[in-house]
């Protein structure tokens, strides 16, 4: 074997169609483009959303809804999650750093404590927002609430 007799494996390559090279090739004439119409012409470019002159769907359907630019999105953490953390790690203070280390939030997220579940541990809880039920539950067991 040498460079002069190398060739690709059998069946791994195909010869390309040479269209528009006369009637003898079988691919002359309309060159696989069919008869007439914009798609058969040179320079044809399909515009996104164009439906052949029919009113396109993005113009037929009305606009609806809006996005509130003042919306603040919080990551919800329930008090039963705080209870589990307190039991597992014997914590008395749960803040943003503890929640990040436990993998519940990322550094950019805001936290809201919600009142689902029950709390028995006396905790100092630090978060950006609290629901009324969560705040009441934390204070009921003698804990404190710190809003950031």
pLDDT of 1 reads: 82
Going from the N-terminus, what domains does the chain have, and what CATH number goes with each? 74-147 (3.100.10.10)
Where in the chain does DSSP place strands (E)? 74-78, 93-94, 110-114, 124-127, 129-130, 144-147
The mean pLDDT value for 99-108 works out to 93
The mean pLDDT value for 130-143 works out to 94
Instruction: Give all strands of the β-sheet with 74-78 in edge-to-edge order.
Output: 74-78, 110-114, 129-130
Sort residue 116 into left (φ over 0), alpha (ψ -120 to 50) or beta. Answer: beta
* Structure confidence by residue, pLDDT tens digits, 114-126: 999 999 999 999 9
Contact 96, 148 (CB under 8 A): yes
pLDDT of 21 reads: 94
Q: What percent of the chain has pLDDT over 90?
A: 91
Q: What is the CA radius of gyration of the chain?
A: 34
pLDDT of 52 reads: 87
Residue found under tokens 């039991």: 87
Contact 99, 125 (CB under 8 A): no
- DSSP code per residue over 121-135: S--EEEESEE-HHHH
pLDDT of 23 reads: 93
* Structure confidence by residue, pLDDT tens digits, 47-96: 999 998 999 999 999 999 999 999 999 999 999 999 999 999 988 999 99
Average pLDDT, the chain: 93
Q: What pTM, to 2 d.p., does this model score?
A: 0.59
Q: How confident is the model at residue 98 (pLDDT cuts 50, 70, 90)?
A: very high
Output phi, psi for 44, to 5 deg: -70, 130
The mean pLDDT value for 103-119 works out to 94
């Amino acid at each position: 074997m040498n460079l002069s007799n190398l060739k690709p494996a059998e069946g791994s390559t195909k010869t390309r169609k040479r269209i528009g090279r006369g009637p003898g090739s079988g691919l002359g004439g309309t060159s696989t483009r069919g008869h007439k119409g914009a798609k058969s012409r040179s320079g044809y470019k399909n515009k996104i959303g164009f439906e052949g002159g029919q009113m396109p769907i993005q113009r037929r359907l009305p606009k609806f809804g809006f996005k509130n630019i003042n919306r603040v999105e919080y990551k919800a953490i329930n008090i039963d999650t705080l209870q589990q953390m307190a039991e597992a790690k014997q914590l008395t203070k749960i803040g943003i750093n503890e929640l990040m280390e436990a993998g519940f939030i990322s550094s950019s997220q805001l936290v809201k404590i919600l009142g689902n579940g029950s709390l028995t541990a006396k905790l100092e809880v630090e978060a950006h927002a609290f629901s009324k039920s969560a705040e009441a539950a934390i204070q009921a067991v003698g804990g404190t609430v710190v809003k950031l």
